[in-house]
Amino acid sequence: MPEKLLCAAADLSDTTARIFEVEGVEIGVIRHNDTVVAYRNICPHQGGPVCEGLKMPRVCDELDEQKRSVRQSFDTTEMHFVCPWHGWEFKIETGEAIGDPKIRLSRYKVIERDAQIYVEV
Amino acid sequence: MTMPQNPLNYSSDADPAIKEFDTTKLLKNARKQALERNYKDFFICDVDSHHYETEALPEILQYMDDPVLRHLGLSAGNVGRAGLIPQAIGSQDMAGRVTRYPGRSKETVPPTPHRDITLTRRWMDALGVDMACLFPTPMLLLATHPQPEVEVAMARAYNRWLCERILEEDKRMCSMVYLPINEPHEAERIIDEFAERKGVVGFLSTGYLKRPIHDNANMRIFSKLEEHGMPLGFHAVYNWSDSSLSQLNKFISVHALGFSFCNIIHMTNWVMNGMPERFPKLRTMWIESGLAWIPFLMQRLDNEYMMRTSDAPLLKKKPSDYMREMFYSSQPMELVDNKEALEVTFKMINAETQLLYSSDYPHWDMDLPSTIYDLPFLGEQAKRDILGGNAQKLFNLEPTMSEWKLEAQKAG
């Protein structure tokens, strides 16, 4: 697969995806857990710009030893893209929809080499 | 006591990508869908969309007859404090995750035309919508206001403002204007005042009325609508304070059930009390509850009716037969993963002639025209009818195509 140069590695943020247009397709690229991931910027639900949404942690319910609900909390070890159109959430690490892992973002292979970011398309 | 640290900030204001909010930019993928599917070739009418009328409250209050209420609204500073419109509890923006909620109010627009016209045109043009039936947002709960005179005064002022500032100014926008059914004599006056106004295509009842819809006090309202040839829309709302719904603890729970519950109650009363037999020329449209509730209710009511027809002596056919003659808006359509169920639903409600596309934009669960256009079981003509043709017939519309479509048609 041909590689396309996107940007310098230093230009990538770990808070907000950068959006690149490669051969007419928008790709969102973000640094995540010391690696770089890239997804097509299209939500499988209704086509929203999913990579442009907020990056937010998973919300968890905390139960006590008697399984009573205590409170909710953020799990920052699992971060999500939240589609800005309808709020569908996807694991940044894998692109899986939180509500149904059979639904996934289209993923691209990313190469970080010589301080540059390339994507295979 | 040591206060817990809360260093996390996931707000849209913290995100440089969406700090400068622009509807056209947010919806650029919708515009791509419109181009890919050649929406330029046909008319699309959105029969349920919204604006935030409370942002224009100082303007609206200029149209209010009652000087004391007008002063109250203008002096309080904002609508919540004025107590003129009940406020819904519930996180439509999902704790800031749906970024157009905090972004929209800060969106920059030119000084003219009216801000609501600019914002509405932006999303219409992105979605490929040519004409939109515009409804208020917090005012959908106005019927629950404990002071009936406030409901009437707000309804009249809002309708006047909407007609003069929005509908007169832009022929791509229309509305089914607010009908204060809790006060029947005032509702009749509202029909007389607004039935002939430019852009008024019907009248709107919202949920949670103080008397059931079939109450004898309402019959003159329905006669008058029938005389004017104006359809009556039922726009569902959720009301978390409803005694059944108040047991639910999640916003999505009450949202999922509340809208359908609201339409189910009104529809059941409407059909079982023989309203379609009493007012055979009055067309009704049932707005914003998805579609799954309709086959459910058809089956439930038919089953009960056949066992106890004496309970509904005005009926000359089964409840579902009446329901199949009514009109429905599409959003929020149940889209997850069961196209077969959706196809059966479309057949059961005669969707090809009775279903009308709606977006509900800018609300959190909005649907694009592609939710209809991409359905594999619909033919091209059925898609076009649901997206625009059925609305054109129901509302007797003169279709006004968007400028970008006209230009695209010229360009071939």
Query: If you average pLDDT over residues B218-239, what whole number do you get?
Result: 97
CB contact under 8 A, B365 and A86: yes
Interface test with A, best of B99, B336, B357, B371 (most A CBs within 10 A): B99
- Among A54, A76, A100, the residue with its CB nearest the CB of B99 is A54
Q: With a threshold of 0.90, does the pTM exceed it?
A: yes
Give the whole-number percent of chain B exceeding pLDDT 70.
Answer: 94
From B265's Cα to the closest Cα of chain A, the distance in A is: 28
CB contact under 8 A, B10 and A100: no
Nearest to B128 by CA among B409, B407, B411, B401: B401
Determine the pLDDT at residue B102: 86
Given a cut of 90, whether residue B332 has pLDDT beyond it is: yes
Given a cut of 90, whether residue B277 has pLDDT beyond it is: yes
By the CB < 8 Å criterion, does A17 face chain B? Answer: yes
Nearest to B193 by CA among B236, B233, B234, B164: B164
- A48: closest chain B residue by CA: B29
Determine the pLDDT at residue B5: 61
- Among B15, B30, B337, the residue with its CB nearest the CB of A16 is B15
Given a cut of 90, whether residue B92 has pLDDT beyond it is: no
By the CB < 8 Å criterion, does B81 face chain A? Answer: no
Domains of chain A: 3-120 (2.102.10.10)
Average pLDDT in chain B: 94
The string of pLDDT tens digits covering residues B126-153 is 999 999 999 999 999 999 999 999 999 9
Nearest to A82 by CA among B8, B12, B367, B127: B12
- B96: closest chain A residue by CA: A54
Looking at per-residue confidence, does A120 or B16 come out higher? A120
pLDDT band at B306 (very low <50, low <70, confident <90, very high): very high
Neighbours of B154 (CB within 10 A): 28
SS3 per residue for B179-203: CCCCCHHHHHHHHHHHCCCCCEEEE
By the CB < 8 Å criterion, does B145 face chain A? Answer: no
- B335: closest chain A residue by CA: A45
By the CB < 8 Å criterion, does B253 face chain A? Answer: no
By the CB < 8 Å criterion, does A121 face chain B? Answer: no
Cα–Cα distances (Å) from B199 to B166, B167, B204, B370, in that order, read 9, 5, 14, 26
Given a cut of 80, whether residue B79 has pLDDT beyond it is: no
Q: B96 contacts in A (CB within 8 Å)? A: 54
Determine the pLDDT at residue B18: 60
The string of pLDDT tens digits covering residues A87-106 is 999 999 999 999 999 999 99
Do B43 and A85 contact (CB within 8 A), yes or no? no
Cis, bond preceding B313 (omega within 30 deg of 0): no
Distance CA A103, CA B335 (A): 13
Determine the pLDDT at residue B62: 95
Looking at per-residue confidence, does B333 or B102 come out higher? B333
By the CB < 8 Å criterion, does B4 face chain A? Answer: no
Query: If you average pLDDT over residues B311-331, what whole number do you get?
Result: 98
Query: Per mean pLDDT, which of B9-23, B30-44, B101-115 is the most reliable?
Result: B30-44
- Among A46, A57, A84, the residue with its CB nearest the CB of B26 is A84
- The pair of structure tokens assigned to B201 is 């295509």
Given a cut of 90, whether residue B2 has pLDDT beyond it is: no
Query: If you average pLDDT over residues B68-93, what whole number do you get?
Result: 81
Q: A92 contacts in B (CB within 8 Å)? A: none
By the CB < 8 Å criterion, does A62 face chain B? Answer: no
The string of pLDDT tens digits covering residues A31-76 is 999 899 999 999 999 999 999 999 999 999 999 999 999 999 999 9
Neighbours of B306 (CB within 10 A): 10
Query: If you average pLDDT over residues A105-119, what whole number do you get?
Result: 97
Do B271 and B319 contact (CB within 8 A), yes or no? yes
Q: Which class is domain B49-88+101-411?
A: alpha beta
Burial class (CB in 10 A: 0-12, 13-18, 19+), B316: exposed
By the CB < 8 Å criterion, does B26 face chain A? Answer: yes
From A114's Cα to the closest Cα of chain B, the distance in A is: 27
Query: If you average pLDDT over residues B185-207, what whole number do you get?
Result: 97
How far the first Cα of chain B sits from its last, in Å, is 71
Given a cut of 60, whether residue B257 has pLDDT beyond it is: yes
CB contact under 8 A, B28 and A55: no
Where do the domains of chain B lie?
49-88+101-411
Do B137 and B51 contact (CB within 8 A), yes or no? yes
Do B102 and B20 contact (CB within 8 A), yes or no? no
